[in-house]
Structure 1
Amino acid sequence: MERESVMRKRKYPILEFDPSKKAIIEASNFIRKVENWEHGIICFFKDVVEKIAESTGAEKIYEDKGVYGANPFYRMEYRGCPIVFFFPLMGASVSAAFLELAIGLGGRKFIACGSSGVLDRSIPRGGFVVPSAAVRDEGTSYHYREPSREIDVNKKAIKAITTVFESHHESYRTGKVWTTDGLFRETASRIALRKKEGCLAVEMEAAALLAVAQFRR
């Protein structure tokens, strides 16, 4: 039985990391595990999710119903491999919650595909950026990992993704990204600092998704 951790008050609440694996609310409290799948796609393009679901006749295995409406999780088969895919809305907190639901449904290996704003103007519109790490300028990741400036991406995952791009002769860039909660607070000075740190792009979910995945590993 896990021993309950004792929280120590710090100057800033965001630094009060609790490593306890058990929370009052868990995805497993209200959803059932779906057998025979482990691979998932987190797709931030709702129209793509809907198009693939329709064209493949994907099975709806779960539907989350919140104040934002119904949001389904679909399962299809690709080359004999069951894959679950879903649209996680936008932002660190809610996308992390949807990843938690997907893990509760039985997922173990995930890849995320979304959009970002480039900080390096040499990256063309529609170009591919493969994150190697994310600067944690949001709040959600601090509930899953002890405080740090950055969170790294698994090197095997990076290799798997870049190998696919290369096999299709697609160009890409690999480097840090900046995860922020402040969509309308990307100031000139903050952007300059992130560029100095080596960030190629700014987005709103990577650090949180990485933290959830590493915590639930």
Structure 2
Amino acid sequence: MTTESAYAQEFPILEYDPTIPAIIDIDLEQDRHPEMPEHCVICFFRDVIEHFLEAGLLTRLHTVKSEMLDHPVYLYQVGEQKVALLHQAVGAPLAVYLLEECIGMGARKFIACGGAGVLDRSIAMGHLLVPTA
């Protein structure tokens, strides 16, 4: 028995199954949207998105459907640069679904903008915090 197969027996998650097609398989070209930019901002602040909408700065590019709501994906233009904007949902399953839909549409680079609390009183409220590992 090889070392690789011994590991697969001890840790089944390490077993690789090359069977194609998989039951759930992502085709990165299938759902590509012709206008979807490579860059996407994931924003948790609804009021900011509403402000941009009221100012006429956003164009609806696509709507991702879910059982709970319709989730619009907007197009925002900064000079010559086009950026997608998504109001992210709270909760891992829906958040992953929306992210994967944007990846399927063509987005490849993401940045998230949201709020969070901290227990360290030395960190000032309202300032930028970049989490690191």
Please give the range of the TM-score, normalised by the shorter of the 2 chains. 0.7 to 0.9
Unmatched runs of 5 consecutive residues or more in structure 2 = 1-7
TM-score of the aligned structures, taking structure 1 as reference length: 0.48
As a proportion of its length, which structure holds more helix? 1
Bigger Rg over Cα: 2
Provide the rounded CA distance (Å) in 2 between the counterparts of 1:72 and 1:18.
38
- Superposition CA RMSD, Å: 3.0
Contact kept in structure 1, 2:36 and 2:61, CA below 8 Å? no
Task: Provide the identity percentage.
Answer: 34
Deviation of 1:51 after TM superposition, in Å, equals: 2.0
Unmatched runs of 5 consecutive residues or more in structure 1 = 1-7, 134-217
Q: Aligned partner of 2:97: which letter?
A: A
Counterparts in 2 of 1:7-18, with a 5 A limit? 16=13
Query: 1:106-128 CA distances to partner (integer Å, 9 max, x unpaired)?
Result: 11111100111202111122222
SS at match of 1:75: strand
Query: 1:61-120 CA distances to partner (integer Å, 9 max, x unpaired)?
Result: 111122221110000210210010011111333222211111111111111001112021
Provide the rounded CA distance (Å) in 2 between the counterparts of 1:59 and 1:29.
23
User: Of the two structures, which has the highest relative contact order with CA contacts closer than 8 Å and spacing of 6 or more?
Assistant: 2
Counterparts in 2 of 1:34-113, with a 5 A limit? 34-35=34-35, 37-113=37-113
Higher mean C-alpha displacement, 44-53 vs 107-116: 44-53
Query: 1:24-69 CA distances to partner (integer Å, 9 max, x unpaired)?
Result: 1537597342346211100011221222133234221111122221
The runs of at least 4 aligned residues of structure 1 exceeding 4 Å deviation read: 8-11, 17-20, 27-30
TM-score of the aligned structures, taking structure 2 as reference length: 0.73
Contact kept in structure 1, 2:28 and 2:103, CA below 8 Å? no
Aligned residues: 122
SS at match of 1:128: coil
Q: Aligned partner of 2:112: which letter?
A: A
Q: Aligned partner of 2:51: which letter?
A: K
Q: Aligned partner of 1:80: which letter?
A: E
